[in-house]
Structure 1
Amino acid sequence: MLKALIFDMDGTLVHSDPVHLLAFAEVLGPEGVVIDDVVFRNSIIGHTNESIFATLLPDHSVSEHEEFARRKEAAFRRLATDLKPLDGLGKLLDWADERDIRIALVTNAPILNATHMLDIIGVTKRFAVTVTIEDVARGKPDPLPYLTALERLGIGAGEAVAFEDSPSGMKAAKGAGLYSFGMLTGLTAEDMTSVGADCTITDFHDQGLWDFLEKRLHA
């Protein structure tokens, strides 16, 4: 029986990728790094800051990478003031609450970003479990963040469903054994199914999602 829904944050709960792109461009532009859609899609979306800055600034030290990451996340929080939840999210969370299905967040973002984002879109109190990059030794694509969420929820992978928008996130969810929906906020259906998505949806109004949930609820 379905007992939990587990969500990624950026690109899944909210279409925040354009704001992240702006924040990276603001911080890395002076370093001569051009952040366009291709760079964002290939080197940033779904990756940890550690990986992102090691890739984009290979000649800088780890401590410098950490400082760039701190500045980028501060820029993001400053810029991310008018975001809205992805269409249908409220309906889905209400549906889950009415059926005692718990809600969890699994993100490679730092806790400051997670707190800020959940507050901005008004869903902070809806999440029973939150796993951020500070909670785990290894971020996505490692399955550890999802395994940590399952452990905190006290359930098995077969009792939960995941929602992800990036290849690294999808690999993490599938590595943890979760049935996973690929959100098409930044990538194509082919992109997401190629890394393991069981199904793809554009938002939470998708009828295929609702048919699946009702069936899974009574399995």
Structure 2
Amino acid sequence: MLKALIFDMDGTLVHSDPVHLQAFAEVLGPEGVVIDDVVFRNSIIGHTNESIFATLLPNHSVSEHEEFAEQKEAAFRRLATDLKPLDGLPELLDWADSKGIHVALVTNAPILNATHMLGIIGVAERFAVKVTIEDVVRGKPDPLPYLTALERLGIDARDAIAFEDSPSGMKAAKGAGLFSFGMLTGLTTEEITAAGADRTIADFHDPALWDILEERIRA
């Protein structure tokens, strides 16, 4: 029986990728690193900051990577002031609440970003469990963040559904054994399906989502 919905954040709850791209460009431009759509899709989306800065600034030290990451996240929070929840999210969260279904967040973002973004889109109090990068020793694509959320919720993977928009996030969700929807906010149907998505949806109004939810709630 369906007991929980577990959401990634960036590109899933909110289409924040353009703001992240802008923040990366602002911080890394002076270092001679060009951040375009190709670089963003291949080296940034769904990756941890540790991985991103090691890839984009290979000649810098780990401590320098950490400093750049802090600058980038601060720039993101400064720029991310007018975000809106993905279409249908408030209605989905209301439905989950009416059915007694828990809602959880699993993100590679730091807690400061999660707190900022959830507040901006008005859903900060809706999540029973929040797993951010500080809560785990390994971020996505490792399944540990999702396994941590399941443990905190006190449920098995078969009782939850995940929502992801990136290959690394999808790998993490599927590695934890979750039925997973691929969000088409940044990738094509083919790309996110190849990463393991069980179904794909454009937003939370998509009939494909509600067919599965109604089926699971009756199980």
Scaled by the length of structure 2, the TM-score of the pair is 1.00
CA distance in 2, matches of 1:210, 1:90: 14
CA distance in 2, matches of 1:207, 1:62: 45
Cα displacement string for residues 164-215 of structure 1 (whole angstroms, at most 9, x for unaligned residues): 0000000000000000000000000000000100000000000010011001
Match of 1:51 in 2: 51
CA distance in 2, matches of 1:211, 1:196: 19
Deviation at 1:73, TM superposition (A): 0.1
Deviation at 1:5, TM superposition (A): 0.1
Match of 2:137 in 1: 137
Match of 2:84, SS state, is coil
CA distance in 2, matches of 1:56, 1:170: 23
Cα displacement string for residues 114-161 of structure 1 (whole angstroms, at most 9, x for unaligned residues): 000000000000000000000000000000000000000000000000
Whether 1:20 and 2:20 are equivalent positions in the alignment is yes
CA distance in 1, matches of 2:136, 2:102: 21
CA distance in 2, matches of 1:192, 1:179: 14
Structure 1 residues without counterparts, runs of 5 or longer: none
Amino acid in the other structure paired with 1:170: M
CA RMSD in angstroms, aligned pairs only: 0.2
Match of 1:35 in 2: 35
CA distance in 2, matches of 1:208, 1:50: 35
Match of 1:194 in 2: 194
Amino acid in the other structure paired with 1:141: P
Match of 2:103 in 1: 103
Q: Matched residues, percent identical?
A: 84
Match of 2:140, SS state, is coil
CA distance in 2, matches of 1:40, 1:92: 29
CA distance in 2, matches of 1:73, 1:27: 10
Match of 1:114 in 2: 114
Deviation at 1:86, TM superposition (A): 0.1
Cα displacement string for residues 75-125 of structure 1 (whole angstroms, at most 9, x for unaligned residues): 000000000000000000000000000000000000000000000000000
Match of 1:215, SS state, is helix
CA distance in 2, matches of 1:104, 1:47: 20
CA distance in 2, matches of 1:193, 1:208: 14
Match of 2:158 in 1: 158
Q: How does 1:69-84 map to 2 (within 5 A)?
A: 69-84=69-84
CA distance in 1, matches of 2:218, 2:50: 42
Amino acid in the other structure paired with 2:20: H
CA distance in 2, matches of 1:185, 1:55: 24
Q: Which runs of 4+ in 1 moved over 4 A?
A: none
Structure 2 residues without counterparts, runs of 5 or longer: none
Amino acid in the other structure paired with 2:197: A
CA distance in 2, matches of 1:28, 1:208: 39
Amino acid in the other structure paired with 1:94: D
CA distance in 1, matches of 2:134, 2:123: 21
